Structure formats: C-alpha cells, structure tokens
Amino acid sequence: MDQTNINISNNDFINSTSIQDVTIIDNVQTINFKTFENNRSIKHLVIGPNVETIQKHTFIAHTSLLSVTIGSGVKIIELGAFCGCTSLQSVTIGSNVEIIGGCAFKNCTSLSNIVIGPNVQIIDFSAFCGCTSLKNVIFGPNVKTINTRVFSGCTSLQNITIGPNVQIISNSVFENCPLLKSVTIGNSVEIIGYNAFEDCISLSNITIGDNVHTINDCAFRNCVSLSSITIGPNVQTIGKYAFQNCSFLSSVTIGPNVQTIGFEAFGNCTSLQSINIEDNVKNIDACAFLNCISLSSIIIGPNVKTIGWNAFSGCISLSSITIGSNVEIIDSGAFDSCTSLQNVIIGDNVKKIGDGAFCDCTNLKSVTIGRGVKTIDAFTFSGCTSLRDVIMSDNNKIIDPNAFYNCKSLQNLIIQKN
C-alpha cells in the first residue's frame, strides 16, 4: 500500500509501513493494540465519533505520531494507549471522554499543551508522567480524581489550576516539576497526598482550599522557592516532612483545627521567622522545626501536650518561647542548641523534661521549673554556660548528677516549697 491517507471502517489488521494520515470513521467502536501493531509511520490520527474505547497499548511507542484528534464518542482511553509517542505534539481530547487511563500519554516528551475535556472524571496513574515539554494543563470541571504520579517529571510545567470538583490530589502527582510556579487548589480538595509537590523548586505561590483536612508526608518537601503558606481552617494533620527544606519559607499561618505537626514537618526551613501554634494543636512531633535557624519567637498553644524530641533543636535565633499551660512532656533535645534563648518558664503541668532538652543553650540565663516535674534527666541543661538562676519546686525530687553539667555560671539554685 502506497497511499498516505486511509479510512478504516472496521478493526481489520493493518500491516502497512507507509501510511501517515489515518481517519477512523463509520461503525468502528473499539481500537485495539493489534490494529496498528506493525504500522509505525502514522503522523496524524483522527478518531471518528463512533469509537468508544481506545484499548490499552494501541499506539504505544508510535514515535512518528505528531497529532491526535479524539472524537466525541470516545469515553475511555485505556492503559498506555499513547505511551512513549515521543513526537506527539498535539492532542484534542473529545468532549465525552470520562477516563484517561494509567500511563495513557506517559513519556510523550514533545507534548506541550493539553486540555482535559469537560466530562473527564478520572485521570489515572502516571497518565502524563514524563511529558517533559508539557507547559500548560487546563482541567475540565468534572475531574474528581487525579491519581498517583499523573504529572510527575513534567519538567516544563509552569501553572496549574486544579478543577473545582477534584477531591484528592494523590501521591506524587506533581513531584519533580521544577518549573511549576503557581498552584491553585480548589475548595473541593480534601487531601493532598504524599510527595504531591515534592521537588517543585520554582513553586512560590500555593493556595490551599478551605476543605483540605490532610497535608500528607513530604507534600511540599524541597519547594525551595515557597515563601509563604496559609494552612486552611479545616486542616487537621500536617504530615511528616511536609515542608522540609523549604528554605525560602518565611511565613506560616497554621489553621485553627490543626492537631498534629508531624515529624520534621518544617525541618530546615531556614528562613522561617515566627510561628503561632494554634489552640487545637496537641502534638508537636520530633524534629518538627529542626534547624529553623531564623525562627526568633514561638507561641505554643494551650492544648499542646507533647513537644517531641529535637522539635526545635538548632533554632539558633530563637530568643523567646511561650510554653502552653497544658504541656506535659518536653522530650529529649527539644530545644537543644537554641543559642539565643535567654529565659525559660516551664509550666506546672510539665511532668517530664527529657535528656538534653535545653542542652547547649549557651545564652540561657534563667530557668523556672514548675512543680509537676519530678525528675530532671541527664544533661537537661548541659552546656548552658550563661545559666545563673534556677528556680524549682520541692516536688523536683530527682536531679541527675549531670543535669547541669558544664553550667559554669550557675550561682543560684532556689527551691520553692510546694
């Protein structure tokens, strides 16, 4: 066959190597992977209005394919249908497509723009993963689910507006999109998945909708251009490493319903200057603000019960802390090496101060320890070389011999009767 244009009216196997333009018309309802298995020369493909399903792997690795128009009858683009079509530049997704299957356009490295049709509800895993030329995506109004890694590795993607009906931004959806600058998350989104925006190093602006209740682990880790974040009123959990290494982040507003700030959630946010931990926060997990070297003041809300180990370790600019009245545990190393801290008042409800909790706070001058503390563990104030005055209760019955090790300036130890 030497023609360059052909009309297909059934699912006959095509064994030509010279066809470049294909229009599928008439009564064809399904295109399967055998139809064009041996034809790798197609450049332009028009899928007619009666086709309902493009089956899995139908055009996989058709590296000559430049453009695809998907007709109004197509409802499902199955797994890997156009995966590895490295020359594909243009795709028009028909108005009735409901599902874009997993890996459907994965590694289509020349694809630069995509409009998600008005009836698409599900974009399945890795659908556009590795589309390194993709710059803009417009979501249709009915998209509800964006599954894992859909746009992961889209290294040219710059702007995203999440559709109004999306409820879940799944794991790693935009991971490693280094040019992504701005994201608007609609008010229907409830969950931001694990690693959702990790390594989006140009992301400077993010609006989190009011209905988000969970920001999962590593969601914004390594977003080094992110300067401010407002965590919505319904967020309850900020996951582990959620904003770790966001080194430009200077301002954080934590919503009133946050209950847990996860392990190293803001670790190494070296530009973060102040934080107000709202009334509903109960737990500040270990290393939550580790090495936030610009953090100068912190107010810990009245319902926090546990300040985890190394929670504020290495916060060298921290000069003022207010510890809420219901804190019960200040864990090991919680304020280790907070070298600007000068005065600490530990409330009466604190029951435990862990090993090295205030170790090497070299400018700490005075400490008041509430009557709830019965044991002061090893090296709790070790290396606090400026510490002069310690006021404690006679309930503080056990003081480890090394609790005040190397406190060279200690002059007054005042024990008050309960």
Q: What are phi and psi of 371, to 5 degrees?
A: -75, -10
Please give the Cα distance from 32 to 25 (Å, whole number).
15
**For residue 11, what pLDDT is reported?**
45
Residue 9 has pLDDT above 50, yes or no: no
User: Does residue 134 fall inside a structural domain?
Assistant: yes
DSSP characters over 318-337: --EEE--TT--EE-TTTTTT
The one-letter amino acid at 273:
Q
User: Does residue 146 fall inside a structural domain?
Assistant: yes
* CATH (domain of 85): 3.80.10.10
For residue range 263-282, what is the model confidence (pLDDT) as tens digits? 999 999 999 998 878 788 99
**For residue 233, what pLDDT is reported?**
87
- For residue 20, what are the domain limits? 1-157
Residues in the chain: 418
User: Does residue 14 fall inside a structural domain?
Assistant: yes
Q: What are phi and psi of 283, to 5 degrees?
A: -135, 130
Distances (CA, A) of 182 to 338, 343, 352, 359: 35, 41, 44, 41
Average the pLDDT over each of 161-170, 191-200, 331-340, 377-386 and give the range with the smallest value.
Answer: 161-170
The one-letter amino acid at 247:
S
Please give the Cα distance from 149 to 170 (Å, whole number).
8
Nearest to 367 by CA among 308, 314, 399: 399
Helix, strand, coil percent content, the chain, rounded in steps of 5: 0, 25, 75
- The mean pLDDT value for 29-40 works out to 73
- The 3-state DSSP class for residue 380 equals coil
Structure token pair of residue 259 = 């209950």
**Number of domains comprising the chain:** 1
Q: Are 70 and 77 in contact (CB under 8 A)?
A: yes
User: Does residue 116 fall inside a structural domain?
Assistant: yes
Please give the Cα distance from 378 to 221 (Å, whole number).
34
User: Does residue 378 fall inside a structural domain?
Assistant: no
User: Does residue 262 fall inside a structural domain?
Assistant: no
Q: Which helix (H) or strand (E) holds 238?
A: strand 237-238
User: Does residue 108 fall inside a structural domain?
Assistant: yes
**For residue 16, what pLDDT is reported?**
57
Residue 328 has pLDDT above 60, yes or no: yes
pTM of the model: 0.89
User: Does residue 36 fall inside a structural domain?
Assistant: yes
